[in-house]
A and B are shown apart, each in its own frame.
Chain A
Amino acid sequence: KQEVTQIPAALSVPEGENLVLNCSFTDSAIYNLQWFRQDPGKGLTSLLLIQSSQREQTSGRLNASLDKSSGRSTLYIAASQPGDSATYLCAVLASGSRLTFGEGTQLTVNP
């Protein structure tokens, strides 16, 4: 059974800092990995999707990497801003069309 773990569970940083969120998964036979953002009381917004054949994806200040062999992904946020405060979730798609989520990292960026 696929298990997804995100570390740390919570993170508080000052504005402007570069930061890394971690995601690990137990079964490396995945189709893709996706990073989401969730604001309080809201749905999930897709940030980056990395296919299993890719090593990284970039969007603006966000960069996500994928190392299938070690079962790890990182989300790098450059020059963090208070508006980046949210919960960040990673999810992996494996066989059977099933997406497995981690519990998320709650990020607070302080002005």
Chain B
Amino acid sequence: NAGVTQTPKFQVLKTGQSMTLQCAQDMNHEYMSWYRQDPGMGLRLIHYSVGAGITDQGEVPNGYNVSRSTTEDFPLRLLSAAPSQTSVYFCASVPGGAEGEQFFGPGTRLTVL
């Protein structure tokens, strides 16, 4: 198994541009989530999904969209990038519900100029 994969590893955007961060897992996990990690603020939950077709907002959802059309993929869309979205983004998946062990991807480091 490849586990949780994220692409790209690095990305630089200009303010106002849009892009999609990709996340995929091959472990057939139902629960997937997106976090951002910022110095002094720890990891914060952006959006999560308990299964295909079901998504919900986390702690900091503004400026981000998600969809879950398949069990394997959970892309995160930045609609109009802002410098405040400069961060490291992590995707995670959990077997079964959210109560299990979290498996994290390697992260995407995003800079918005």
Q: Is the CB of A42 within 8 A of B107?
A: yes
Chain B: which residue is nearest A103 at the CB level? B42
- A98 in contact with B104 (CB, 8 Å): no
Say yes or no for B43: interface residue by CB 8 A criterion.
yes
Chain A nearest CB from B23 CB (Å) reads: 11
* Chain B residues whose C-beta falls within 8 Å of the C-beta of A49 in the assembled complex: 100-101
Q: Which residues of A contact B107 (CB under 8 A)?
A: 42-43
- Assess whether B50 is interfacial by the CB under 8 Å rule: yes
Nearest-Cβ distance from residue A96 to partner chain B, whole angstroms: 8
The answer to whether B99 touches A34 (Cβ under 8 A) is no
Bin chain B's interface residue count: 20 to 34
Tell me the bound Cα distance from A99 to B41 in angstroms.
14
B98 close to chain A: CB less than 8 A: yes
* Residues of B close to A104: CB separation below 8 A: 42
B98 contacts across to A, CB distance below 8 A: 31, 93, 97-99
Is A98 within 8 A of B59, CB to CB? yes
- A4 and B42 CA atoms in complex are apart in Å by 10
A43 touches B104 (CB 8 A): yes
1/0 contact string of A83-105 vs chain B (CB within 8 Å): 00000010101000111111110
With A49-B101, A103-B42 already in contact, 9 other A-B pairs whose C-beta atoms are closer than 8 Å: A31-B98, A42-B106, A43-B105, A46-B102, A97-B50, A98-B59, A99-B102, A101-B42, A103-B41
Top 4 nearest A-B pairs (CB, nearest first) are A97-B98, A43-B104, A44-B104, A101-B43
